[in-house]
Amino acid sequence: MVDEDAGWLGIDLGTQSVRVLLVTADGQVLGSGSAPLAGRRDGVRHEQDPVRWWAALCTASRAALATAPGVPVGGLAVCGTSGTVLLTDGSGRPVSPALMYDDGRAAKEAARAREAGLAVQDTWALPKALWLVGEYGPGLRLAHQPDLVVTRLTGEPPPADSSHALKTGYDLRGEAWPEAALVRLGVPERLLPDVVRPGTRLGEVCARAAEATGIPVGTPVFAGMTDGCAAQIASGALRPGSWNSVLGTTLVLKGAAREPVRDPTGVVYNHRAPDGTWLPGGASSVGAGALTARFPDADPAAMDERAAAFEPSGAVAYPLVSPGERFPFRAPDATPLLLGAPSDDADRWAALLQGVGFAERLCLDYLHHLGAPLDGPLTFTGGGARSAYWNQLRADILGRPARVPEQTEPALGMAALAAYGASGAGALADVAERMVRVRTVLEPRPDRSAAYDEPYVRLVDALEERGWLPAPVAEHARSRLHGDTGES
């Protein structure tokens, strides 16, 4: 059973900040704190100084705990950006910068890994691990982003959680490293850590860490998950058939299934929940970043109001934030697409909003094409979900209801995971649903939904004509035009 009197601490190591929430078992946020982070970008390179993660955590945790003095902390869990890694010495001290989730310098190493039979992408952690070994030599240990912070919290290097280990090549079904492939790649024997399931108890906060962070000494520390999985937990989308659509700079869809969703192209991959169920998903390069790039000084609310006059827009967009697409199709040469000419800035804004909705619909159509379960509730989270107009527009384009929770931060997901780990039984979905409070339920408007069929088909046709969208996927999307995107 979850301790009803305790607060649960969720820690999110993000790209731009460290965020900490103290949350009760029924979802009341007792305290929050954050501290900024900065990185270094140079072309395909993106690094951070891992020492700064700890300093930021100390600031954020003290702020979160200051507003709820005397509340016992039942436990904590930490999430980080997926694919962010560094090298450490035997005691867990960093000896390299952290190569961030989107660092692309290890493309050659990724190609080697694929030749060895491992389905990895260029920015995944395993290629970056190989690159780091080439730069710093053998004899060191690989750490994922949360591993470094947990080392400081407990006083000793922990095993990695299987969620972060996925992009390092860990086999989630067999729950083991792929030894034969790693030997072919020449991975040093002691480079990779032991791995445990999320929610496993890793230790407790030591006296030195308690003094620095304000977190009570002896607080249990549980293995976390990636930030995407943490956001999914915070959305409550953990029952089979449920999906969480995270709209930020880019678009990420993550769902729940009893079995992995098989995708021979590797566009969709599967995390595994601590209770053994599967969390399939994919990350697109379409998103709200296209609005920021085109209208850097715009007032989003004012532009939304003006865009309402263009339903549908006179133009059709596929609003990539950067060149190349990863989901719902893989096309490294894809570029932002605009069919037709918007009449003014409001029409262009409308085209971008609607284009994200079309991409989101195509993602769901592709998941249906793969046989993924889609019959559960859909939840909208991420910065884009702050726009009530965009939320309703997306529900109309998708032709299905959508929920918007009150609190969707990844740190909330880690608080729920810590509570689950401490309970020692039950399903993570049960714990998460108690913490997640739904703010709004959106219903699609049938007349508006029908109006978006024609521009959606135009976009699908254009993507197919350019050779980016495979013909069978395009045909499947067209065949589902008049159905709810949640229908099986």
Mean pLDDT, 10 residues at a time, over the chain (488 residues)? 84 93 95 95 93 98 94 96 95 96 93 93 94 95 98 97 96 95 94 96 98 98 94 94 92 94 91 91 92 95 97 97 91 94 97 98 98 96 92 97 90 96 86 92 95 97 98 97 67
Question: How high is the pLDDT of residue 482?
Answer: 67
Do 7-224 and 237-401+443-479 come out as alike in CATH topology? yes
DSSP string for residues in 430-472? HHHHHH--EEEEE---HHHHHHTHHHHHHHHHHHHHTTSS-HH
Sequence letter at residue 73: V
Contact indicator for 280, 372 with CB cutoff of 8 Å: yes
Question: How high is the pLDDT of residue 179?
Answer: 95
Question: How high is the pLDDT of residue 161?
Answer: 97
Alpha helix positions (H), 104-178: 107-115, 125-136, 145-154, 162-165
Question: How high is the pLDDT of residue 366?
Answer: 98
Question: How high is the pLDDT of residue 322?
Answer: 85
DSSP string for residues in 166-218? GGGT-BTTTTB--HHHHHHHT--TTSSPPEE-TT-EEEE--HHHHHHH-PPTT
- Chain centroid, CA 372 distance in Å: 18
| Domain limits, the chain | 7-224, 237-401+443-479
**Closest-CA residue to 19 (of 31, 4, 33, 5):** 33
CATH architecture observed for domain 7-224: 2-Layer Sandwich (3.30)
Which of the following CATH numbers is that of domain 237-401+443-479: 3.30.2010.10, 3.30.420.40, 3.30.200.20, 3.40.47.10? 3.30.420.40
Contact indicator for 239, 376 with CB cutoff of 8 Å: yes
Question: How high is the pLDDT of residue 475?
Answer: 97
**Closest-CA residue to 8 (of 407, 410, 415):** 415
pTM of the entire predicted model: 0.87
